Structure 1
Amino acid sequence: MNIKHYLDSTYLKTAAQANLSEQENTEVVKKCIQEAIDYDFKLIMIRPDQVVLAKKMIEAANSKVTIGTVIDFPFGNGTLEEKLAEAKQAIENGVDDLDYVLDYVAFKRGEIETIKEQVLQGTKLGLAHHKIVKWIIEVAALDNHQIVQLSALIKNVVIANFSEKEYDKVFVKSSTGFYKTPEGVPNGATVSTVKLMLENSCPLAVKAAGGVRTYEEAVEMIQLGVKRIGTSAAKAISTGEISNSNY
């Protein structure tokens, strides 16, 4: 097992969130992209406005690292039209993976048809352009029953509308890493939430994002059955170091 090829190395902070200037934050992004190239991670996950930069650096290095970005991040409460417009721009800019934040608040309000349409149209757009599509359900905002329901909903929409050969291009993803939880409560992937996702999203793949910071934790997630791990501790995971990352 080459653990590096499971890792979506992630940096999603804005300059303000990182308490940096725009130029300083761009330098951090460049460092993360270069690290992904140097360590041959599966993917570099960055904000939409940084996709062009990543594409340029990866092509210049003749690297196989793929590029992912987040859509309607971090709350997922934009309109369907806004989600699709942002995704279309990312596709034009050369992105490989589209990680949409599903409107989990609307789901909790019972707006099931709205959620189904988001999944249908967002997935259709991505697959039409040969992209990987991931749906972030924000497990920390949901109870176990809701995790089961939402994972199954995404699966059922995909099965009803797309061919079996496309199933492996659609993921259910645990978290944004930006959801605010009470002190000490995990806001990312946990073993229990990932098990629920795996059981109810199959045959779709699962991405465990947030909270995976060590080699041992990553191996545990892979052994459970996840196909991707979203983490800002990719280097530490791949080298066995200790990370102080909070995502």
Structure 2
Amino acid sequence: MPVASIATPRWDGPLPTPEEAAKMIDHSLLRPELTPAEVAAGLETASEYRTASVCVRPADVAAAVSALTGSGVAVGTVVGFPHGGATTAAKVFETAELVGLGAQEIDMVIDIGRLRGGDVAYVQDEIAAVVRAAEGRTVKVIFENAYLDDEQKAAGYRAAEAAGAAFVKTSTGFAPGGATAADIALMRRTVSPHVHVKAAGGVRTLDALLELHRLGATRFGATATATILDDLRGRLTGAAPLTDDAPTTGY
């Protein structure tokens, strides 16, 4: 089911520089139908705009590392994606393999059903195992908030912090709902300042990015990277805003 774009009014506060905004974005290349040529084009977009990272499918990590070496764009990938239902051992193996291929950031999906069932200890232990397997690389924990109530969310966020994760993250982009203002606010007030918040799912406009950044998100999973950053450049130079024609699934 497509995740709707976040509807927000036009931002009327101070604007970041294009370079600052780009370093908030993980350019997402996770849709299952992407061809190698489409992935390569996406890597070129990330390099051109100097995003914080790309987030690619596991099978694309080696190509992304080769293409982006020296660009300043980190290579990220996903573990247990998108359902989170793999065993802990499988997630650990996947993490170790991807780190060995050069991945610098790992976005892992929790066992959603375990958290919904109240087994927070299992969730925390699994996150900690992935953090250890990542050997110091950035680990972002995806909660798929659309399936959780606020009590479950907060328990999961606290578990991620206790397990040593660097980020808590809203969603995969493949569930019925994505990032919301309420969830970003809940994430930010639940975890300590040293744990970052990543918004993913429906962040397709500059206005949405800036509003969620105001609420505490510091990183954004996005397919509409060019639309967002070109809109920012246009506003800074007085040009007309662009139309968002980005895909509507997978962030």
SS at match of 1:77: coil
Work out which of the residue numbers 163, 183, 188 in structure 2 matches 1:193.
183
**Separation (CA, whole Å) in 2 of partners of 1:45 and 1:150:** 23
Work out which of the residue numbers 196, 207, 229 in structure 2 matches 1:205.
196
Work out which of the residue numbers 56, 59, 77 in structure 2 matches 1:49.
59
1:71–1:87 contact (8 Å) kept in structure 2 = yes
| Cross-structure match for 2:173 | 177
Report the aligned-residue RMSD. 1.3
Larger RCO (alpha carbons 8 Å, 6+ apart) = 2
Is the aligned partner of 1:14 residue 2:32? Answer: yes
Unaligned runs of 5+ in 2: 1-15, 232-241
| Cross-structure match for 1:145 | 151
Q: CA deviation at 1:191?
A: 0.3
Q: CA deviation at 1:106?
A: 1.1
**Separation (CA, whole Å) in 2 of partners of 1:190 and 1:242:** 22
| Cross-structure match for 1:3 | 21
**TM-score normalised to structure 2 length:** 0.84
Residue identity over aligned pairs, in percent, reads: 29
**Separation (CA, whole Å) in 1 of partners of 2:75 and 2:58:** 10
**TM-score normalised to structure 1 length:** 0.85
One-letter identity of the residue aligned with 2:199: A
SS at match of 1:87: helix
1:214–1:242 contact (8 Å) kept in structure 2 = no
| Cross-structure match for 2:10 | none
Q: CA deviation at 1:201?
A: 1.7
Is the aligned partner of 1:31 residue 2:41? Answer: yes
The number of residue pairs the alignment matches comes to 219
| Cross-structure match for 1:68 | 76
| Cross-structure match for 2:243 | 242
One-letter identity of the residue aligned with 1:105: G
Q: 1:168-196, CA deviations, whole angstroms, 9 ceiling, x for partnerless residues? A: x71001100111x2xxxxx1101011111
**Residues 210-221 of structure 1: pairs in structure 2 closer than 5 A:** 210-221=201-212
Is the aligned partner of 1:223 residue 2:214? Answer: yes
Q: 1:187-209, CA deviations, whole angstroms, 9 ceiling, x for partnerless residues? A: 11010111111111223111011
Q: 1:42-92, CA deviations, whole angstroms, 9 ceiling, x for partnerless residues? A: 111110110110111112xx3111110000100011111000111111001
Q: CA deviation at 1:113?
A: 2.2
Unaligned runs of 5+ in 1: 19-24, 159-168, 182-186
Is the aligned partner of 1:125 residue 2:115? Answer: no
Q: CA deviation at 1:225?
A: 1.7
Q: CA deviation at 1:40?
A: 0.8
1:123–1:133 contact (8 Å) kept in structure 2 = yes
1:137–1:150 contact (8 Å) kept in structure 2 = yes
Q: 1:182-239, CA deviations, whole angstroms, 9 ceiling, x for partnerless residues? A: xxxxx11010111111111223111011111111111111121211001111111111
**Separation (CA, whole Å) in 2 of partners of 1:4 and 1:108:** 34
Q: CA deviation at 1:97?
A: 0.3
1:101–1:136 contact (8 Å) kept in structure 2 = yes
SS at match of 2:23: helix
SS at match of 1:243: coil
One-letter identity of the residue aligned with 1:14: P
